[in-house]
């Protein structure tokens, strides 16, 4: 539901964004997108729905499914995983490696660090086999998850991101996957901020240069193939007066490691400087308390579903926002928690739509007894 509300925000903001949005900087990338995850609004994009080689950004989905398996207790971080010949043979493919071999039994924790920090293709294969039984099964799981999220421009053919026919994604779809990792597996997200990892006496640095340049950047993933160019998903969080705010950028098809870092930094800096995230409602706080007919309770608390609700607006315009509640009347019990009974419309002072989200019942209202219902029926008839 929270993700659905965020999507509604993004769609509703399209009109105001075209009229008022600050112009993004020039970004030297074939595709890019910048999203404020506090509101799930797209702040800037270019060719974000054009399919492209995602390179090792693929491993965001690989990691998500491994995190799912750990959460479901199908794997544990301490579990030792045998290294198959298939995983060992990745060293012949010319990509990034953790440098495991068939004599080893690294733990899931070590393999995750090898895949995320070192971008190891061998670690990715070992984890895919551990979760899916076979790589084919795991790739099927990746595609099934992508379909469940509605990612129509994404198709996986492997777990590593090495170039292969019909293996593609988009900047927008990659941003969705990264956002799901952050939202659904916060306990595992710190893997993406590890700057260095040593295994088998080989020390490798995280290829995300922004981890060492910007204290607010705490993830996420780099990628490179000759076809894809240099790619980077960068995630940054800052404490703001109205709560934490996280920006997520995806750049694909840049010219070098330095370019993917500098272009990502450019987008993030612009996101902080040109936009404000405005907290509309606190989590669980009612927007209105209204009368209810034929209920055990005489009133119902109405509000927005999910947690705190944010909207991202051009800097300095937050005070101009207006909120209007539109609801069906009369409200008649029984009412279920989460039941939609209207909408919350957010506009600029001039009336330009900014956001529209459901108005829902926050606490259930049970049906009153026979006498209470009869009395309210008479009152409604008179009304």
Pick from 165, 163, 143: nearest CA to 155: 143
Chain mean pLDDT for the chain: 88
- Residue bearing the bigger pLDDT, 53 or 2: 53
- The pLDDT tens digits of the residues spanning 154-202 come to 999 999 999 999 999 999 999 999 999 999 999 999 999 999 999 999 9
Q: 1 pLDDT band (50/70/90 cuts)?
A: very low
CA–CA separation, 22 and 44 (whole Å): 9
- Residue bearing the bigger pLDDT, 153 or 335: 153
Mean pLDDT calculated for residue range 295-299: 79
> Is residue 56 flagged as an active site residue?
yes
Give the number of other CB atoms < 10 A from CB of residue 62.
Answer: 29
Mean pLDDT calculated for residue range 127-131: 97
Catalytic residue among 6, 39, 40, 56: 56
User: Does the pLDDT value for residue 284 go beyond 90?
Assistant: no
Q: How much is the pLDDT for 372?
A: 52
Counting every residue, how long is the chain? Answer: 383
Q: 297 pLDDT band (50/70/90 cuts)?
A: confident
Q: How much is the pLDDT for 19?
A: 41
**How distant is the alpha carbon of residue 99 from its chain centre?**
31
> Is residue 39 flagged as an active site residue?
no
Q: How much is the pLDDT for 302?
A: 86
User: Does the pLDDT value for residue 320 go beyond 50?
Assistant: yes
Pick from 11, 23, 5, 44: nearest CA to 354: 11
Mean pLDDT calculated for residue range 201-224: 96
Residue 92 in 3-state DSSP?
A: helix
CA–CA separation, 276 and 69 (whole Å): 37
- Residue bearing the bigger pLDDT, 211 or 301: 211
Q: How much is the pLDDT for 379?
A: 58
Catalytic residue among 59, 113, 221, 266: 59
Q: How much is the pLDDT for 335?
A: 83
Range in 49-58, 73-82, 288-297, 339-348 with the lowest mean pLDDT: 288-297
Backbone phi, psi, residue 57, to 5°: -60, -20
CA–CA separation, 135 and 155 (whole Å): 15
- Residue bearing the bigger pLDDT, 369 or 34: 34
Domains and their CATH numbers in the chain? 2-275 (3.40.710.10), 281-382 (2.60.410.10)
Q: How much is the pLDDT for 70?
A: 98
What percent of the chain has a predicted confidence (pLDDT) above 90? 62
Residue 133 CB contacts under 8 Å (≥ 6 apart), including other chains: none
User: Does the pLDDT value for residue 126 go beyond 80?
Assistant: yes
User: Does the pLDDT value for residue 324 go beyond 90?
Assistant: no
List the alpha helices (DSSP H) in 207-293.
Answer: 257-274
List the alpha helices (DSSP H) in the chain.
Answer: 2-12, 14-20, 59-71, 85-88, 108-116, 121-132, 135-148, 171-184, 257-274, 370-382
Bridge partners, residue 222, by sequence:
232
> Is residue 2 flagged as an active site residue?
no
Catalytic residue among 119, 169, 235, 264: 119
User: Does the pLDDT value for residue 13 go beyond 80?
Assistant: no
């Amino acid at each position: 539901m929270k993700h659905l509300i965020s999507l509604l925000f993004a769609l509703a903001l399209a009109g105001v964004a075209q009229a008022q949005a600050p112009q993004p900087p020039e970004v030297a990338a074939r595709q890019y997108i910048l999203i404020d995850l506090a509101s799930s609004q797209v702040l800037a994009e270019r060719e974000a729905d054009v399919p492209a080689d995602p390179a090792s950004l693929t491993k965001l989905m690989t990691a998500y499914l491994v995190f799912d398996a750990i959460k479901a207790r199908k794997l544990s971080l301490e579990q030792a995983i045998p290294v198959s010949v298939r995983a060992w043979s990745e060293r012949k493919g010319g990509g990034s490696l953790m440098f495991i071999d068939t004599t080893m039994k690294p733990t899931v924790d070590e393999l995750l660090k090898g895949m995320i920090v070192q971008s190891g293709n061998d670690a990715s294969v070992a984890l895919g086999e551990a979760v899916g039984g076979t790589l084919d099964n795991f790739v099927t799981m990746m595609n099934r998850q992508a379909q469940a999220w509605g990612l129509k421009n994404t198709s996986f053919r492997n777990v590593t991101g090495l170039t292969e026919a019909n293996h593609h994604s988009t900047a927008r779809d990659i941003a969705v996957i990264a956002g799901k990792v952050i939202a659904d597996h916060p306990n595992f997200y710190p893997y993406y901020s590890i700057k260095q990892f040593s295994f088998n006496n080989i020390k490798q640095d995280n290829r995300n240069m922004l981890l060492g340049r910007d204290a607010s950047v705490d993830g996420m993933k780099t990628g490179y193939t000759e076809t894809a160019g240099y790619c980077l998903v960068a995630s940054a969080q800052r404490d703001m007066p109205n709560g934490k705010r996280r920006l997520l950028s995806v750049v694909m098809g840049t010219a070098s490691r330095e370019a993917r870092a500098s272009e990502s930094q450019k987008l993030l800096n612009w996101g902080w400087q040109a936009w404000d995230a405005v907290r509309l409602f606190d989590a669980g706080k009612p927007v209105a308390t209204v009368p209810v007919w034929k209920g055990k309770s005489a009133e119902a608390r109405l509000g927005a579903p999910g947690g705190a609700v944010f909207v991202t607006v051009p800097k300095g315009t937050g005070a101009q926002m207006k909120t209007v509640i539109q609801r069906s009347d009369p409200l008649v019990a029984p009412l279920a928690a989460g039941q939609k009974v209207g909408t919350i419309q957010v506009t600029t002072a001039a009336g330009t739509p900014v956001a529209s989200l459901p108005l829902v019942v926050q606490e259930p209202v049970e049906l009153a007894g026979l006498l209470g219902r009869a009395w309210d029926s008479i009152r409604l008839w008179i009304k």
